[in-house]
Structure 1
Amino acid sequence: MACRKVGGYKQSLSTSSSIVNCRKPPAHEIKTHSICMVSDFFYPNMGGVESHIYQLSQCLIERGHKVIIVTHSYGNRKGIRYLSGGLKVYYLPLKVMYNQSTATTLFHSLPLLRVRLLGALEHQDVRNVLVQGHVFLNTSLTEAFCMAIVEAASCGLQVVSTKVGGIPEVLPENLIILCEPSVKSLCDGLEKAIIQLRSGRLPPPEIIHNQVKTFYTWRNVAERTEKVYDRVAGEVVLPMDKRLDRLISHCGLVTGHIFALFAVLSFLLLVFLRWMIPDSLIDVAIDATGPNGAWTQRFFSTKRGREKEKI
């Protein structure tokens, strides 16, 4: 992560639908960040990842941050597009390998391509599929948040899931059975859920739904995300040699040196690209953030003009 000072504050450059009830805090309460979200999965696809990125980006924009999205092209949708709220999206001309995944994402997703049940579902059809069952089994080997288990619990299902990534933090213990990422552990967890279901120990779906719907709001998610950026922006940026030493010490002698080699190659590639295309030639996103941003001013001035014409 790189940082630069803007308006007296450090502004971090990080890599990591219409807004409802997104509170705009006073400008003096927060530090502003320039945030870049990178994902293969984004609009015009509409699923859990896409919705999460879009909603979170809009709430962060409302809170005064500058946000851009980097994804691959979708058909004729290439280049730079602006979505509502001044959200700038870069649709890169990268080759898709499988299921809207580029080569990098596909390589990391190979363990997830073993089973195909219903295929891709339209977002509006997810609820109708989920309510047909009683137990939702999630077998992810890697996961950050897993919107699917929140959707399943919201539909009243008992969730059985692997205990990986951020999943243990998503739902309370009474709504999820956590398992090790192994066949035996998943079978045991599934049997436990079936026994609870048959014995009537599971709460009714409407009670589960009413409990889950209070857990997350996009305003709350944006505020918690903002705290992460604030903490990271305050950390010391290590020089390259210190980063390599940390990679080797944390990842082991062999793996650490392999990761360090990739880090050096990536750094040299970045230096080469910045030499080929200097920062001064790169288009800067419109500062559309906050209640006084350019995008908001343009919207309300146009709206006032139309109202005057009607009068």
Structure 2
Amino acid sequence: MYHRICMVSDFFFPNMGGVEEHIYNLSQCLLLRGHKVVMVTHSYGDRIGVRYMTNGLKVYYLPIRVFYNQCVLPTMICNIPLIRYVLVRERIDIIHGHSAFSALAHEAMLIGNLMGLKTVFTDHSLFGFADASAAITNKFIQITLSDCNHCICVSHTGKENTVLRAKVDSKRVSVIPNAVDTYSFTPDPSQRIKNQITVVVVSRLVYRKGVDLTAQIIGDLCSKYKEVCFLIAGDGPKRGLLEEIRERRGLQDRVTLLGSLEHSQVRNVLVKGDIFLNTSLTEAYCMAIVEAASCGLKVVSTRVGGIPEVLPEDLIYLTEPNVPSLLKGLEDCINDLKMGKVVCPYECNIRVRKYYNWKNITSRTEIVYKKVIQENTKTLGEHIHCYLTCNVWPFLLVVSLSFIILQFYEYMVPRKNIDIAQDFSHKYQKNVK
């Protein structure tokens, strides 16, 4: 069974991150399996309109301005004409939204539900329950998932978190992890510097990634081990803190800040290191540690969120999210390196390839698509009943207004007047040949 799938998220190329990589790789694999996949996101600078990527992946960069942190303003109704036009033109069957932070994904799923389409949502993050930001986001995702056909989480910890904060039936939530292209992230021990231990950090330099812990660790570890140096890739508001530590401790020759990198350059940085350090304070699934393990690095990471599920014990040193525990984990790792207690880098690559590969992830996602496409289409009353369960009654006004606007456009811009895009999936091309 082949589907027409619309991936929707505020986060996509040229922006870089784990969500963007996941959407791109999953889309490419679905295209190779013969499905039609289009991507809908907002404009990035002068990148507006329709663009094509590898294997004919069509990307709609809608002319919507960013409101905050690469997300559009969640109006829920202002973008109905654009989103409806794309869904009708591409004859979409399934809308697949990504990231709880993405307002565009929430909007598209609401519109898709009212148009009788099936919706799937992938949650990539963990959230708390105490602060105001988490409370608002949790209520927002509860509203969206109340009428979503199926939800996907990237770890079992993430599933528990989503079920609790969104109050969604656990039977409608599946766990499908991320994957890594192990053929791109291959080891190269010849790039490592002899008689030197290089600790690599690849991360956004923000508080959530534990950069404050990294800054303190740099000073303490460099003063104790003269052969240790740090190679840090990434950018963000906490970069100034790392620069301050480097200047204050006189570590200019031992701490290198590479700044923001293209994802294609990450492997060239990883292969230069012996140890990969991850100090995240919260993480549903850490893509970076899988890429590092694929390159043969020993991984030291905080034991938070879904990280303990990602790698087996002999490939990772798990610590508590505090400086003493992280230092102990790093020291244990350094001692093992000095004693030669290491797993062959190429064996690491083969093992990661077995654990996480996009072919397996795509097959499991297709099972979800097949399941939701067989579900009965809901009536307007059933949609409203689903939204009632989230106990945000004013949102029913938004749903009703969205439905009225859709009916208005069905009259003013009927589907027969919308130019239907040709399907050029691999299956279609094979039939043409």
Q: What TM-score bracket applies, with the shorter chain setting the length?
A: 0.5 to 0.7
SS in 2 for 1:35: strand
User: Structure 1 residues 198, 261: closer, same or farther in 2, change over 3 A?
Assistant: farther
Deviation at 1:272, TM superposition (A): 4.1
Between the aligned partners of 1:140 and 1:286, the Cα distance in structure 2 is: 46
Deviation at 1:41, TM superposition (A): 3.0
What code does the residue aligned with 1:288 have?
Answer: F
Contact 1:161–1:176 (8 Å) recurs in 2: no
What code does the residue aligned with 2:312 have?
Answer: P
Asked if residue 134 in structure 1 is aligned to residue 266 in structure 2, the reply is no
> Which stretch shifts more, 116-125 or 68-77?
116-125
Q: Which residue matches 1:21?
A: none
Between the aligned partners of 1:57 and 1:217, the Cα distance in structure 2 is: 14
Q: Which runs of 5+ in 1 are unaligned?
A: 1-30, 248-256, 301-311
Summarize deviations over 1:112-146 as a string: whole Å, max 9, x none: 47634654212233123333351321415354x43
Q: Which residue matches 2:349?
A: 209
Deviation at 1:91, TM superposition (A): 0.4
When the two structures are superposed, what TM-score results if normalisation uses the length of structure 1? 0.64
SS in 2 for 1:68: strand
What code does the residue aligned with 2:314 have?
Answer: N
Map of 1:1-311 to 2, 5 A cutoff? 31-45=1-15, 48-97=18-67, 100-102=70-72, 105=101, 112=208, 115-116=238-239, 118-130=258-270, 131-139=272-280, 141-143=282-284, 145-155=285-295, 156-164=297-305, 167-177=307-317, 183-184=321-322, 188=325, 191-199=328-336, 200=339, 201-235=341-375, 239-244=382-387, 246-247=389-390, 257=391, 260-261=392-393, 263-264=395-396, 266-278=398-410, 280=415, 284-291=420-427, 293=428
User: Structure 1 residues 276, 146: closer, same or farther in 2, change over 3 A?
Assistant: farther
SS in 1 for 2:355: coil
Contact 2:13–2:20 (8 Å) recurs in 1: yes
Summarize deviations over 1:169-221 as a string: whole Å, max 9, x none: 433333235567xx44x753552353244144553544423422333333222
SS in 1 for 2:37: strand
What code does the residue aligned with 1:191 have?
Answer: K
Deviation at 1:87, TM superposition (A): 2.4
Between the aligned partners of 2:73 and 2:376, the Cα distance in structure 1 is: 33
User: Structure 1 residues 169, 187: closer, same or farther in 2, change over 3 A?
Assistant: same
CA RMSD of superposed structures (Å): 3.7
Deviation at 1:226, TM superposition (A): 0.7
Contact 1:62–1:290 (8 Å) recurs in 2: yes
Contact 2:300–2:319 (8 Å) recurs in 1: no
User: Structure 1 residues 37, 190: closer, same or farther in 2, change over 3 A?
Assistant: farther
Between the aligned partners of 1:162 and 1:263, the Cα distance in structure 2 is: 38
Summarize deviations over 1:234-256 as a string: whole Å, max 9, x none: 45666235424543xxxxxxxxx
Q: Which runs of 5+ in 2 are unaligned?
A: 75-100, 103-132, 138-203, 209-235, 243-257
Between the aligned partners of 2:303 and 2:283, the Cα distance in structure 1 is: 9
Contact 1:163–1:178 (8 Å) recurs in 2: no
Between the aligned partners of 1:273 and 1:190, the Cα distance in structure 2 is: 58
Summarize deviations over 1:140-168 as a string: whole Å, max 9, x none: 5354x432221121221314145325x44
**Identical pairs, percent:** 42
Between the aligned partners of 1:147 and 1:38, the Cα distance in structure 2 is: 20
Summarize deviations over 1:33-78 as a string: whole Å, max 9, x none: 3322122332344654434322321221232322111111123321
Between the aligned partners of 1:142 and 1:44, the Cα distance in structure 2 is: 23
Contact 2:300–2:329 (8 Å) recurs in 1: no
Contact 1:32–1:65 (8 Å) recurs in 2: yes
Deviation at 1:93, TM superposition (A): 1.6
User: Structure 1 residues 94, 187: closer, same or farther in 2, change over 3 A?
Assistant: farther
Aligned length: 251
Deviation at 1:261, TM superposition (A): 4.3
When the two structures are superposed, what TM-score results if normalisation uses the length of structure 2? 0.48
Between the aligned partners of 1:162 and 1:265, the Cα distance in structure 2 is: 43
Contact 1:157–1:205 (8 Å) recurs in 2: no
